[in-house]
């Protein structure tokens, strides 16, 4: 093994260590979503005057070093069932997250955003207008442990409204 000398060697070693720790921290974050989950919450359906309660099952898996996929199915009122999911990847250089949300009636939606601590803060661009525009916000929170949540917030009549609020527990 080659000996590192002087300040430049110390800086190189520090940079290598920081890069390795950053990759480890990111890997740990993606790994939080691996496995099977169950839960539920409320979802606003355009055909209903008030949000409905749903129960859900989900499965998460890393698909690459900087990517993961989440697939879920929610049920309500014995007649409603919808599959949805998200495929997200992280740019290792800039840290931006991009991906696709599947399951919206408008077709696949684009996701883009950043991670702030334990929350992915994503802009959703729907395939067509919903509630007067094609934009919304999705927050995926995972603070460690065996729970995480997903909220979708949309502008309705000029006010932010939580249109989906789901919490999951590892099953």
CA–CA separation, 147 vs 167, rounded Å? 7
Whether 17 is in a domain gets the answer no
Where is pLDDT greater, at 68 or 8? 68
78 assigned to some structural domain: yes
CATH of the domain at 36: 2.40.128.20
> Which pLDDT tens digit goes with each residue over 50-63?
899 999 999 999 99
Q: Is residue 68 part of a domain?
A: yes
pLDDT reported for residue 23 = 40
Domain carrying residue 101:
32-170
- The count of structural domains within the chain is 1
What does the mean pLDDT of the chain come to? 83
Average pLDDT, stretch 81-90? Answer: 94
Q: Please state the length of the chain.
A: 171
Within 10 Å of residue 47's Cβ, how many Cβ atoms?
6
- Specify if 108 maps to a domain: yes
Provide the terminal-to-terminal Cα distance of the chain, rounded to the nearest Å.
46
- Span 120-136, average pLDDT: 93
Are the C-beta atoms of 52 and 45 separated by less than 8 Å? yes
Q: What is the pTM of this model?
A: 0.81
Residue 25 inside a domain? The answer is: no
Distance between CA 52 and CA 31 in Å, rounded?
31
pLDDT higher than threshold 80 for residue 167? yes
Is residue 81 in some structural domain?
yes
Evaluate whether residue 13 is within a structural domain: no
Alpha carbon of residue 71 to chain centroid? 11
* 12 domain residue, yes or no: no
Range with lowest mean pLDDT among 25-39, 42-56, 101-115: 25-39
The mean pLDDT of 68-81, rounded to a whole number, is: 90
């Amino acid at each position: 093994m080659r000996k590192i000398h002087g300040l430049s060697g110390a800086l190189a070693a520090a940079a290598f260590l920081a890069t390795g720790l950053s990759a480890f921290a990111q890997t740990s974050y993606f790994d939080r979503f691996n496995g099977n989950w169950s839960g539920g919450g409320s979802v606003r359906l355009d055909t209903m005057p008030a949000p409905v309660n749903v129960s859900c099952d989900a499965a998460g898996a890393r698909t690459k070093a900087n990517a993961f996929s989440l697939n879920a199915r929610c049920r309500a009122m014995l007649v409603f069932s919808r599959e949805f999911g998200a495929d997200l990847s992280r740019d290792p250089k800039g840290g931006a997250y991009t991906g696709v949300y599947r399951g919206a009636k408008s077709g696949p939606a684009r996701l883009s955003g950043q991670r702030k601590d334990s929350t992915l803060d994503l802009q959703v661009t729907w395939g067509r207008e919903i509630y007067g525009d094609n934009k919304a916000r999705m927050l995926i929170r995972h603070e460690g442990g065996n729970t995480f949540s997903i909220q979708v917030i949309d502008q309705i009549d000029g006010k932010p409204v939580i249109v989906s609020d789901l919490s999951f527990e590892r099953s």
